[in-house]
Amino acid sequence: MHPLVARLIHEMNYPLLSNLSDLAEFTARPGAHCLLVPGDAARNLETPDAAVVLPELRMTFQHAFDCAVVGDAIEAEVRQRTHALKTPSFLFWRDGEFLGAIEKIRDWDDYIARTTHILTTKG
């Protein structure tokens, strides 16, 4: 795990979702949620960038969603279920319903526009 992804878990207290039941429990909680699917940091140079962008995005949206990190053990299954196959990606849920994804690193304005659109989507 890349140190910047580990920082999200150990310093920022984002849960690490290691199995599908943890994922289901987390995403079923009331409110909006954003899950980071980091991908393989050794092969994907964008993974550290995503680990920096996510807390900034959450702050920009005034904590309108909580965050977690998808663990390696379930990453492939989560990507397949959500059809968000590219990593890193941010996957959004509200009240147990998948809302949408932002895949790969984007321009900041694109993050703002896409996140706004996703968060205003009815589940």
Q: What is the pLDDT of residue 62?
A: 96
41 DSSP β-pair partners: none
Q: What is the C-alpha separation between 108 and 39, in angstroms, rounded? A: 20
Residue pair 67/54 in contact by the 8 Å Cβ criterion = yes
CA distances 20 to 16, 37, 72, 118, 121, Å, are 11, 14, 12, 23, 24
Q: Residue holding tokens 């994907």?
A: 44
CATH of the domain at 100: 3.40.30.10
Q: What is the pLDDT of residue 123?
A: 54
- Write out the residue range of the structural domain in which residue 76 sits: 3-119
Closest by CA to 74, choosing from 17, 9, 123, is: 17
Q: What is the pLDDT of residue 122?
A: 66
pLDDT in tens, the chain (123 residues): 899 999 999 999 999 999 999 999 999 999 999 999 999 888 889 999 999 999 999 999 999 999 999 999 999 999 999 999 999 999 999 999 999 999 999 999 999 999 999 999 865
Residue pair 87/39 in contact by the 8 Å Cβ criterion = yes
Q: What is the pLDDT of residue 44?
A: 87
Reading the block at residue 40, the tokens are: 């393989």
Count of C-beta atoms within a 10 Å radius of residue 49: 15
- Total count of domains within the chain: 1
